Structure 1
Amino acid sequence: MGGYVAVRFTPKGNEEMMLDWMFANRMEDGKTAYPRCLYVLKQAEIVFYEGDFNGRILFKYRLEDGTVIYFKESFNTLLGMETSVVFSAAIQYYKDTFYIKSWRENWKPPQPYQTSVEEFKDTSPKFTGYYLENTKGERIKQERLNINQKVYLVIETNNAEGETATINLNNNNLDFEYNGKVLDNDILKGIKVLGNITKIQLKTVEQNKN
């Protein structure tokens, strides 16, 4: 099958579970095709200790989609009882490296990271511009304004709702009146932004030459 991993260790008394695993099959489930139905794939982890099982863990060897293909218990006059087991695993993780066999069942290749546009969407408040409209909703240039004309200042923003804005209309021929008060130096201060579009009603007045 491939992906062989052989281990040898001192038995602890519960090794029969490996025999059960080795002889298990999936012939009765009716879902697994031949010859895959002849064995049961499981996960296993081989842990290497310093000294005995109570020592420091050196590293781990993880197996997935694996089965036991060899099991033997023997007596050694020097070392006593020994258990030898050979695993065959389709997926082997050894430290930072992994090995994949074609007959694996559960492994899925890593999916490329999908970058969401939302992750890089700039949500900081931005002022994008302003212009004037007449009462018909038509854009109008400042040089075409007349005295005592009602106009709307249209402020364009992004992600700025609730912020305050200051606009310098900078007209050398007219002054502007807002809420009955003439703007100082054509500067409109403290306007609360209501959304991406904020409209402010103004009135043009004769410029104060003083």
Structure 2
Amino acid sequence: MIKVILVDDQAMVREALAALLELSGSVKVIAQAKNGVEALEIIGKLAPSEAEVLLTDIEMPQMDGLTLAENVRRSYPHLKVCIVTTFGRAGYVQRALSAGAKGFLVKDAPSKDLVSALEQIQKGIRVVDPALALDALSLPASPLTEREKDILLAFEKLGTVSEVAAELFLSAGTVRNHVSNIIAKTHAKNRAEATRIARENGWL
């Protein structure tokens, strides 16, 4: 029996997926969380033997699945991470594997394929959707620095340069310089297009 922690911000999707996994007879969903912050709180209260695989979505509030995977790798290396998401982007695959994830699957895969993947991940075998794996191998690594990613993410929440500068403790001029670099690196016409390109490639 594979002991799984399931993380997804959509309650209906999370509960349906938990039910499907348990119907297989091979998986026991021992806990559910709605985001990475809640998942880490749950993991911190468990003994290492109580959970084997963390099955998580990517795009969630407070802490996304990729950041969660990085935290798990650092603090709970006994726990194997599998990403299962609607957003099958090659850039996400690269980031997930760099974050220590052992699996990357899309939600439209048959449930039997997910159970099979979890069985392999439990044994330490890495499992990645084949089509996405090929795309990831041909995709260039993200050209953006961590600071440039922070700035694009901040602009998604805040509207002006001054607001982003205050949020990140930078000067307005520094933020503008970073935005210029981001636009150049992504070959975009403006900041909005740069953000779209970064999202589509899974760099954010």
How high is the TM-score relative to the length of structure 2?
0.16
Bigger strand share: 1
Bigger helix share: 2
Structure with higher Rg: it is 1
How high is the TM-score relative to the length of structure 1?
0.16
